[in-house]
Every structure is written in structure tokens, then in C-alpha cells.
Chain A
Amino acid sequence: MTRHEWPLFEVFVRAKRGLNHVHVGSLRAADHEMALHHARDLYTRRNEGVSIWVVRSDQVAASDPAEKPSFFEPSADKVYRHPTHYTIPSTVPHI
């Protein structure tokens, strides 16, 4: 199989001030600088962004979806972390 000459980068775009960077896709580039330029041309042709992050795809660590149940289970039984867990008389204002 022919491999592409350049590594893969993941691209994150901040749509406007006040918002987080959001993952939009990936691209191929020789280095980070080229990845930023390509990301601008590819993902922000219509003012979709005010800031871009690029991260080499092989540098991303991800949780394993097969372990999803055990990985995320610890949060399932802690109902007391949610405000609805607490009963407050309706006469108490602003709470």
C-alpha cells in the first residue's frame, strides 16, 4: 500500500470569540506550519473561524469505546452530583 508522504493532522476551529475550539476534520501536511495554512484554506473559506489548532493525529490519546461501560460507569451511580438530587421546599426563593 502506498502511504502518503505527509503525516495526518487533526484540525480544531474556534468559530468565534467566546466558543471552544471544535474538531472539524483532518488533513495531510509536512509540518505544523503547513498544517495551519492548509487548515485555513480547507476549513475556513467562509469565515468559519477566528482561530485554528492543529495536532498530529498520532499524538492523540483516546479512550477505548469497547471499554466505554467500565470507563464511564463510575459517574453513573453518583446521583448526588446533580442539583435535582436535593429536595428544597418550593417556598425557598432563587435556589
Chain B
Amino acid sequence: MTDFALFDQAIARDQRIEPADEMPERYRSTMIRQIAQHAHSEIIGMQPEGEWITRAPTLRRKAILLAKVQDEAGHGLYLYSAAETLGADRGDLTQRLIEGRQKYSSIFNYPTLSFADVGVIGWLVDGAAICNQVPLCRSSYGPYARAMIRICKEESFHQRQGYELLLTMMSGTAAQRDMVQDAVDRWWWPSLMMFGPPDADSPNTAQSMAWKIKRHTNDELRQRFVDMSVPQAAELGVTLPDPELAWNASRDHYDFGQPDWDELRRVISGGGAMNEQRIARRRQADTDGAWVREAAAAHAAKNLEVAR
């Protein structure tokens, strides 16, 4: 019998672990790390698309993009809220992000070169996020699972607005169609990398599955994403940049090529085109906001004194 009999029992019975429950220290630290990385990804993920808000081609697209980027901020905050139930502190997590001590998704270290990128991010990047996040709604840690439910409800809008944007561009000029194809060519492989390294190189997966933090392996989710995306690409009239992509009737799945895993390693460890700029901007926002946070805190303290 371990010291965590109630914890083990709850996991075995597929019940949720709640904040005040006793839990193994490694479960707590794994959960904090995963939730924090996820929160950081949502926050940093505002930047690539945010760059296009002022340059959106119509007022409608601008309003949609603003709402979408605001949602991503919300997702980050739901997740920081979940991380704080485990004893983490939001200020400390932000500090860890801007000092490079905690990671965020590698996908946000690629540049957004044209407005078609906004559409492709909604379709593929949010699409991949949905594949990852839907099973996390049944993750064993209660506050994380509940945050994921809230997030998944909002992600569907993100994916659909992106796909609709692309449909609109594909019905436009040849130059617009080329922009869409170019964006697909650049985002397809990084999107596949969002599911993480192949199962054989993912040492933490087994423990995360045993604790029911994760419900599917990286490769299972990647396959699901490819199977979903291929008919969507066909409907759109774009080509996915993978010569090995082919239906395999014996597996009932699409076969597909392997992403460049060296590139993933390089981008995760800081070598992507945008790593420095993303962190620099987050740090700048934190620094610029410091006086506001301090002034608000001082104002609140003074009001409290007056009230006494």
C-alpha cells in the first residue's frame, strides 16, 4: 500500500483529483509543468495572429480576429487559474516564462508572413489544438479538465473562422489562392509537430497515461489530425506538402511522412525564427504593466484603509 491510497483509488476508478487531495509530488509537479506550458502557449499564441489585427482586410475580419485573440488570452488565464490550485503562483509562472525556464508550444515560433496565415492557423493550428484538447477534458486533474471543457467550447469558433477565411480567399484571385497554398506549405509540418515527438522518443507518455493525465499517445493524436485534415484540404482545393500522404485501406488511416524532428528540437531549444521576439515582447508587456499593477495594488490598499 502506498501513502497515496485515496489518490490511487480515485485514478483507478476514473475519478478526478481535486486541489486539496493528497497526491504524489511528481503528479503535482508534472501537472504544474504541463498546465503552465499550456497557459504560456495560449499567451504567446496571441502574438503571431495579433500582428495581423491592424492589417485585417475588412472590419468583419478585424472584429473576428480581435475576438479570437482575446479568447486565447482567456484560455491562458483559465489555465493559470488551474495551475494556482496546485500551489503555483501566477507571477512566478510568468517570470519562469520570460526567463526561459518554462517552455511553450514550438508552433508559435514561426512567423506569420501573410493574411492567409491567419486562416491557416485557425484551420490547422487550432485544429491540432482541438485534437489535443478534447481528450484532456477527461484528464484526471479536475481543475485542468474543467478549464479544457471551457476552452474546447471556444476553439470550434477559432477553427471555423479560419477555414471560412481560407474558403473566401480560395474563391478569389490566383494570387490569393497562391497565398493560401504558400501558408499551408509553411504550416503543415509545424502543425504535425504540435503533437510532440514520436511515441518511441516520448519518455513521459507512459507515466502520464498511467495517471490519466493524457488519454492518447502523441502518434495516435497525430494520426487522428491527419485523417481529419486530408478531406478538409481537398474540399478547400489545397495540396498538403507531403508526397507520402496516401490512404491505406488496410489500416483504415492515411499514411504520412515524418516531420523533421531535428527542426522541432532546434525550435524548442530556442532556434526558431521568432523565439527571441516572442519572449522579448512578453517581457516588455510585463515590464510596461508593472507600474499599473503596483498602482492598482496601492490604490486598493488605500481604499481599504479609508474604509476602516
Interface residues of A (CB under 8 A from B): 1-6, 8, 24-28, 30-31, 34, 41-42, 45-46, 62, 64-66
Q: Which residues of B contact A3 (CB under 8 A)?
A: 89, 91-92
* Interface residues of B, count at CB 8 A: 34
A2–B20 CB distance below 8 A: no
Specify which of B95, B154, B303 is in contact with A31 (CB 8 Å cutoff).
Answer: B303
- Chain B's closest residue to A46 (CB) is B154
Selected A-B contacts with CB under 8 Å, 6 pairs: A5-B297, A6-B296, A27-B81, A30-B297, A30-B299, A45-B74
With A25-B78, A25-B81, A62-B20 given, is the CB distance from A2 to B296 under 8 Å?
Answer: no
Task: Please encode chain B, from 182 to 209, with 1 for each CB lying within 8 Å of some chain A CB and 0 for all others.
Answer: 0000000000000000000000000000
Q: Which residues of A contact B18 (CB under 8 A)?
A: 65
Task: Tell me the bound Cα distance from A46 to B155 in angstroms.
Answer: 13
A45–B71 CB distance below 8 A: yes
Q: Which residues of A contact B71 (CB under 8 A)?
A: 45
Task: Tell me the bound Cα distance from A65 to B142 in angstroms.
Answer: 14
With A3-B91, A4-B90 given, is the CB distance from A34 to B74 under 8 Å?
Answer: no
Task: Tell me the bound Cα distance from A92 to B154 in angstroms.
Answer: 52
Asked if B25 is at the interface (CB within 8 A of a chain A CB), the reply is no
A6–B293 CB distance below 8 A: yes
Task: Tell me the bound Cα distance from A81 to B148 in angstroms.
Answer: 38
With A4-B90, A31-B303, A64-B20 given, is the CB distance from A45 to B70 under 8 Å?
Answer: yes
With A42-B77, A45-B71 given, is the CB distance from A30 to B300 under 8 Å?
Answer: yes
Among A5, A46, A62, the one with the most B-chain Cβ atoms within 10 Å of its Cβ is A5
